[in-house]
């Protein structure tokens, strides 16, 4: 494929459309706030408007979409989504965007799309087998096998946030259960732990900033979260045998030092050289992976 392809990233707060070249580099982009509170039709209208601006420069083939939620790979419909996009569950994203844009649309989960992009042109391009963990407000993941995402029986694989985690027993996870890794190692988890220690409610981002500025309580909260994440990743490496582990998302930089220390200390010797690295593609990862999905036909 020699012409550029449009990839869309539909997130809870922002929608990004990128015109992605055959080399995986974004050549042009459009973005807008996601009108999540206005419902799925408004979200799709915004996504279609951004994509339509770039389509004249793209080839005539499909475009790709990465979005929050579990995606039915056969139909491109959302099977399940959390509250970040109200009403998104059941939305026929592929069909609705194809009707608006007049060409085929392929849809994948956003973390799956990001992993595909990192394997293609990012921090995992030297490996066909990857584990990517995305730590932002919540904690998600994706497993790449032989250059494609292992999507699982219901396209929901990679849910590393729901691993049972020592020290998290009294903390509520985003899924509603208690004791899961996401309840500690996520923006939400940092905010909750800091509030428990200090009585003060601030965002996960603010906890990270305070830790960086030397606040000892924030530092301790961040170190605990990073250590829990690093230990979990070391165990997952033994289970999955990836060529590399990538840490993506808004809280990755904050958690990486403590995570890397715990990871190195906990890796079983047979996997001692499996690197843990920051992801490389930043805010474009999902759109680039969505474009790759459109080129390839499968995540
Ligand atoms: Zn959970």
Residues measured by CB to lie within 5 Å of ligand 1, the ion: 162, 173, 175, 177, 180
d(CA 257, CA 267): 16
Q: Is residue 79 part of a domain?
A: yes
CA 183 to centroid of ligand 1, rounded, Å? 7
Residues 139 and 263 grouped into a single domain: yes
Looking at the structure, tell me whether residues 101 and 147 fall in a common domain. no
Does one domain contain both 140 and 91?
no
Number of structural domains the chain divides into: 2
| φ, ψ at 241 (rounded to 5°) | 55, 50
Tell me whether residue 198 is in a domain.
yes
What's the pLDDT score for residue 298?
Answer: 72
Q: 179 C-alpha vs ligand 1 centroid, how far in Å?
A: 8
**Assigned domain for 86 exists:** yes
| Structure-derived torsion over alpha carbons of residues 215, 216, 218, 220, reported in degrees to the nearest 10 | 160
CATH number at residue 154: 3.30.420.40
- Per-residue model confidence as pLDDT tens digits over 17-34: 999 999 999 999 999 999
- Express each pLDDT in 174-199 by its tens digit: 889 999 999 999 999 999 999 999 99
Please state at what angle helix 285-296 crosses helix 110-121, rounded to 10 degrees: 80
Q: Per the domain annotation, does 33 fall within a domain?
A: yes
CB 11 within 8 A of CB 110: yes
Kind and range of the H or E run holding 99: helix 93-101
Residue 28: inside a domain: yes
The answer on 264 and 146 residing in a single domain is yes
pLDDT score recorded for residue 188: 93
Tell me: do 158 and 108 sit in the same domain.
no
Q: Strand, helix or coil at 235?
A: helix
Q: What is the pLDDT of residue 82?
A: 81
pTM: 0.94
What are the phi and psi torsion angles at 247 (to 5°)? -110, 120
Q: Are residues 101 and 211 in the same domain?
A: no
Is residue 45 domain-resident?
yes
> Given this model, what pLDDT does residue 288 score?
98
* Residue from 233, 235, 234, 212 nearest 223 by CA: 212
Give residue 177 CA to ligand 1 midpoint distance, Å. Answer: 5
- The answer on 81 and 65 residing in a single domain is yes
Q: Considering Cα of 161, then 185, then 133, then 8, what sign does the dihedral take? A: positive
State in Å: Cα 164 to ligand 1 middle.
Answer: 8
**Range of the structural domain that residue 86 is part of:** 5-115+283-296
Residues 35 and 61 in one domain: yes
Contacts of 83 (CB under 8 A, 6+ apart): none
* C-alpha of residue 69 to centroid of ligand 1, in Å: 15
Domain-embedded: residue 120: no
For residues 145 and 267, membership in a common domain is answered with yes
- Residue 81 Cα to ligand 1 midpoint, Å, equals 14
Let me know whether 34 and 87 are in one domain. Answer: yes
For residues 49-58, average pLDDT: 96
Q: Are 127 and 298 in contact (CB under 8 A)?
A: no
Residue 70 lies in a domain: yes
Distance separating alpha carbons of residues 164 and 151, to the nearest angstrom: 21
Task: Compute the average pLDDT of residues 101-130.
Answer: 96
Do 98 and 138 lie in one domain? The reply is no
Residue at token pair 């973390």: 111
| Cα 255 to middle of ligand 1, angstroms | 19
Alpha carbon separation from 140 to 20, 46, 109 (Å, rounded): 24, 25, 10
Half-sphere exposure of residue 175, counting CA atoms within 13 Å on the CB side?
A: 17
Task: Output the CA 61–ligand 1 centroid distance in Å.
Answer: 38
Do residue 138 and residue 242 come from a single domain? yes
| Ligand 1 center to 247 CA (angstroms) | 19
**Position 99 confidence tier, pLDDT thresholds 50, 70, 90:** very high
């Amino acid at each position: 494929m020699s012409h550029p392809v449009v990839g869309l990233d539909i997130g809870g707060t922002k929608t990004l459309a990128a015109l992605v070249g055959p080399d995986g580099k974004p050549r042009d982009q459009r973005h807008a706030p996601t009108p999540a509170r206005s419902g799925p039709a408004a979200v799709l209208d915004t996504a279609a408007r951004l994509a339509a601006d770039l389509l004249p420069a793209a080839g005539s083939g499909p475009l790709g979409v990465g979005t929050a939620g579990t995606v039915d790979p056969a139909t491109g419909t959302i099977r399940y989504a959390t509250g970040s996009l109200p009403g998104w569950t059941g939305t026929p994203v592929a069909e609705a965007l194809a009707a608006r844009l007049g060409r085929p649309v392929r849809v994948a989960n956003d973390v799956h799309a990001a992993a595909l992009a990192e394997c293609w042109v990012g921090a995992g391009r030297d490996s066909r087998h990857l584990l990517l963990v995305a730590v932002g407000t919540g904690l998600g993941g994706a497993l790449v096998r032989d250059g494609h995402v292992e999507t699982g029986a219901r396209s929901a694989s990679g849910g590393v946030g729901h691993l049972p985690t020592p020290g998290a027993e009294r903390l509520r996870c985003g899924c509603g259960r208690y004791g899961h890794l996401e309840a500690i190692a996520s923006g939400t988890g940092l905010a909750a732990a800091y509030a428990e220690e200090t009585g003060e409610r601030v965002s996960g981002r603010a906890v990270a900033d305070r830790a960086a500025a030397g606040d000892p309580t924030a530092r301790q909260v961040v170190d605990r979260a990073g250590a829990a994440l690093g230990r979990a990743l070391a165990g997952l490496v033994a289970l999955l045998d990836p060529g590399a582990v990538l840490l993506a998302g808004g809280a990755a930089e904050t958690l990486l030092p403590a995570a890397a220390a715990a990871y190195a200390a906990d890796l079983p010797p047979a996997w001692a050289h499996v690197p843990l690295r920051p992801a490389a593609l930043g805010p474009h990862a999902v759109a680039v992976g969505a474009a790759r999905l459109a080129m390839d036909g499968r995540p």
